[in-house]
Every structure is written in structure tokens, then in C-alpha cells.
């Protein structure tokens, strides 16, 4: 499948739709999406037309109607369908966040330990995260990597938290996890 270039606005609307759809498990009304992304419902309707043309969204008619993401929508956002996502524990200020759904962990500048950063892409809203918050991600399913860090910044368009890494552990072999 060729990659579809989405505008930041389309991307944001599609992510909002996917998140709301996941929470509701039924068609999502344009007004709800409008509220979520802080745009007026007319704008959402226009954007939905283009997202429908790209086959990323389908319209559901009737009183319980609205929009729902197609399988292509997940691909377009490079997300996996939720049932295949591995649950990676995610703690925000010491509290385990249920269903935070870590999509991707990207380690940047690993060869500068004093600059070591991690980018954590979440599925779901990141509005409740603020600079200086403490974040712990992991252990991840395969490598059992666990990263503890301080929130340094965030990228709302990509739903990404940027952490300064305070501590990183990946036990080797069957070593006991470090506490």
C-alpha cells in the first residue's frame, strides 16, 4: 500500500476518531470529534469527506450514525489494530496508566549519555502530560527494556512524549529484573 500523506489536521482528526471509536466501540459523531480537536463541526464534515475519499473513514448512517475508522486508517497512522498491540506498562507520576498503549519507543542520541532522550509515541490523548512529569515505560514484551525519565517536551501532532532518560534497564538473559 502506498503511504498516504495526511495533513497535520487530517492526522489529528483521524487520531481523535480512532481514540473515540476505541472508547465508544460504536460510530463517532462529528460533533464529538470537533470537540476533541477543537474545530467546528463543519470543518470536521469537510475533512471527513476527504478522509472518506482516501478510504480511511466510513460514514455510518442513521440516528446512531457517525464515522468509524477503516483498517486503512490504522495503516495510514502506522498504528496496529488494537488487539495486536502489546501492552507495555506505562506510569505517569508513579501511577500506572491503563490502556496508555505505547505505540513506539524511539531512543535518540544514545551515544551521548548526558543527552540521552527517548521519544514515546502513545495512542490516546497526551494533553494531561506536563513538562517535568515523571514517566516510566516498560518492561517491553521482547527486550524487557524499562525506561524511567522526566518529560522534557511533547509533540501533539505525533502524540509523542519526549523524555530525558534518568534510568534505563534491559536485563540480559534470564537475569532478575532490576528494582
Alpha helices in 4-58 (DSSP H): 8-24, 30-37, 41-53
Residues 19 and 61 in one domain: yes
* Residue 120 belongs to domain spanning: 85-169
Q: Provide the whole-model pTM.
A: 0.50
pLDDT tens, residue by residue, 12-30: 899 899 888 887 778 999 9
Number of domains comprising the chain: 2
Residues 90 and 139 in one domain: yes
b/e burial code for range 3-20 (CB count within 10 A of at least 16 → b)? eeebeeebbbbbbbbbbb
Per the listing, cell 494533553 goes with: 127
Dist. CA 77–CA 75, nearest whole Å: 5
- pLDDT, averaged across the chain: 82
pLDDT tens, residue by residue, 27-72: 999 999 999 999 999 999 999 999 999 999 999 998 889 999 988 8
Residues 71 and 103 in one domain: no
Residues 127 and 149 in one domain: yes
pLDDT tens, residue by residue, 137-152: 988 776 778 889 999 9
Q: 118 is written with which cell numbers?
A: 527517548
Per the listing, cell 534470564 goes with: 174
Amino acid at each position: 500500500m502506498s503511504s498516504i500523506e495526511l495533513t497535520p489536521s487530517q492526522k489529528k482528526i483521524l487520531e481523535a476518531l480512532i481514540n473515540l471509536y476505541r472508547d465508544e466501540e460504536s460510530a463517532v459523531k462529528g460533533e464529538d470529534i470537533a470537540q476533541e480537536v477543537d474545530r467546528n463541526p463543519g470543518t470536521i464534515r469537510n475533512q471527513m469527506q476527504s478522509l472518506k475519499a482516501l478510504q480511511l473513514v466510513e460514514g455510518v448512517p442513521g440516528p446512531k450514525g457517525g464515522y468509524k475508522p477503516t483498517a486503512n486508517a490504522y495503516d495510514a497512522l502506522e498504528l496496529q489494530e488494537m488487539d495486536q498491540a502489546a501492552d507495555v506498562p506505562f506510569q505517569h507520576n508513579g501511577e500506572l496508566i491503563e490502556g496508555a498503549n505505547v505505540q513506539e519507543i524511539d531512543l535518540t542520541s544514545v551515544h551521548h549519555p548526558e543527552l540521552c532522550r527517548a521519544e514515546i509515541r502513545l495512542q490516546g490523548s497526551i494533553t494531561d502530560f506536563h513538562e517535568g512529569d515523571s514517566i516510566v515505560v516498560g518492561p517491553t514484551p521482547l527486550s524487557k527494556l524499562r525506561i524511567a525519565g522526566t518529560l522534557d517536551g511533547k509533540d501533539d501532532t505525533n502524540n509523542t512524549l519526549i523524555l530525558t532518560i534518568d534510568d534505563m534497564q534491559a536485563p540480559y538473559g534470564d537475569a532478575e529484573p532490576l528494582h
